[in-house]
Structure 1
Amino acid sequence: MSAVGIVAAAGSGSRLGADLPKALVPLAGRPLVVWAVESLLAGGVAEVVVAVPAADRAAFAAALPGTVQLVDGGATRTASVRAGLAAAGPAADAVLVHDAARPLTPPEVVARVLAALATGAPAVVPVLPVVDTTVVVDEAGTVTAAVPRASLRRVQTPQGFDRAVLVAAYAALEDGVELTDDAAVVRAAGVAVGTVEGDERAAKVTVPHDLHLAGLQVGR
């Protein structure tokens, strides 16, 4: 099985307090996107396409290996993934969609996703248990119920798909509809999504505190 990785890297760095795209924000001296791409390649992905802000293509090209293909990302994640799918080479029969903002995802997580796809799963995501108490609140912010957490999971990336399944699901998605992730896109098309074990190191970098914690992990 041959897999292509699509990295969504077109987001801004505003919540990180950066004046450059989030994916170019450095972690231990290297942009976040470099860490994410290396994780995919080390985990067994043969080809990587990165969706980037059009205005910053040169900066991404300078940071990434020449074997990585760059495409102009869209204003939304959905648009960026569509662009990545359109640019992917014809050889891959599986697609892994990854966030540049999860730079420390271990290659072992990538390998687990690929292994599940190799057994015939049409779609699979890495997950972790929910460990905090989770509640429902009303409009006033008052707790109205506690949600049993035994069956709840936190979803990470990379999310893996049979290529034909993901392409068909995006083709069926109505224009203007934005879902939270690619697993939601295939679920909207009626496809069952399996799970594999995620990893706490695959935490998403969103705010400066997240970047600080990632830096501590790299320094260990």
Structure 2
Amino acid sequence: MYDDEPTALGAVLTDDRGSLPFLLVHGEALAAAAAWSLGEAGVTIVDASVSWDGVREAGADGEPFVLHDSLCPLTPPDFIAACLDRARETGAVVVGVRPVTDTLKVVADGLVGATVDRDAMTLVCSPVVLPAPVVAGLAEAPSSDLTELVSALAVDHEVVRVEAPPSAGRVSGPDDVRLLEALDQR
């Protein structure tokens, strides 16, 4: 656990993800693995019983808020802690991202067109760290769709994208779980 910084609050996101958060990785549910990583990073996990007003109040008291996608279950705790530190140091929203590896094409009028430069693209994964002033200023709980959330926050806040390690990749099915297990030899 990383005890040299003040606490942060956080949540493991499971809503709107179907049954995927309950697939097993290394013998435990993805959501449980994600919660372990968040806790090991020194984040106090809040659940649905804590109102957004309570979280905002903590933000007003200087506590950042960390959103961790249960579909990124093996995000290393040290990466989460580093993102949290960076948000505290810069005051920016910090988001873990992975490079795009698929070929992307433009489709117009039903026709496949030019290839998009994937070097300019990233995939949002975990975590998304909201600095305390951002938390205090959000009237409603942030979206559980992290891509949507990051896009919305970028309108009014500085957003820093940090490349996450491969083990922080997002799961879209059982094959991805097996790949993550191979990358993470716990």
TM-score, normalising length: structure 2: 0.78
Instruction: Confirm or deny that 1:202 pairs with 2:172.
Output: no
Q: 8 Å contact 1:109–1:197 — kept in the other structure?
A: no
Q: Which of residues 71, 84, 87 in structure 1 aligns to 2:48? A: 71
Q: Give me the whole-angstrom Cα distance separating, in 2, the residues matched to 1:32 and 1:110.
A: 16
Q: Which of residues 95, 100, 114 in structure 2 aligns to 1:125? A: 95
Q: Give me the whole-angstrom Cα distance separating, in 1, the residues matched to 2:159 and 2:100.
A: 18
Matches within 5 A, 1:27-176: 27-45=25-43, 47-49=44-46, 70-71=47-48, 85-88=52-55, 90=58, 93-140=63-110, 142-171=111-140
The 3-state SS of whatever aligns with 1:119 is: helix
Counterpart for residue 150 of structure 2: 183
Rate the CA distance shift 1:185–1:170 in 2: closer, same or farther, 3 A.
farther
Q: Give me the whole-angstrom Cα distance separating, in 1, the residues matched to 2:86 and 2:37.
A: 18
Counterpart for residue 3 of structure 2: none
How many pairs align?
177
Tell me the amino acid that sits aligned with residue 108 of structure 1: D
| Range moving further from structure 2, 145-154 or 87-96 | 87-96
Report percent identity of matched pairs: 28
Q: 8 Å contact 1:169–1:185 — kept in the other structure?
A: no
Q: Give me the whole-angstrom Cα distance separating, in 2, the residues matched to 1:36 and 1:148.
A: 32
Q: 8 Å contact 1:127–1:153 — kept in the other structure?
A: yes
CA shift, 1:84, in A, is 6.1
Rate the CA distance shift 1:130–1:12 in 2: closer, same or farther, 3 A.
closer
Q: Give me the whole-angstrom Cα distance separating, in 2, the residues matched to 1:98 and 1:85.
A: 16
Per-residue CA shift, 1:122-147, capped at 9, x if unaligned?
3111123323332211242x322222
RMSD: 2.9
Counterpart for residue 8 of structure 1: 13
Q: 8 Å contact 1:97–1:182 — kept in the other structure?
A: no
Q: Give me the whole-angstrom Cα distance separating, in 1, the residues matched to 2:20 and 2:99.
A: 27
TM-score, normalising length: structure 1: 0.67
Q: 8 Å contact 1:8–1:99 — kept in the other structure?
A: yes
The 3-state SS of whatever aligns with 2:150 is: helix
Q: Give me the whole-angstrom Cα distance separating, in 2, the residues matched to 1:146 and 1:97.
A: 33
Q: 8 Å contact 1:44–1:110 — kept in the other structure?
A: no
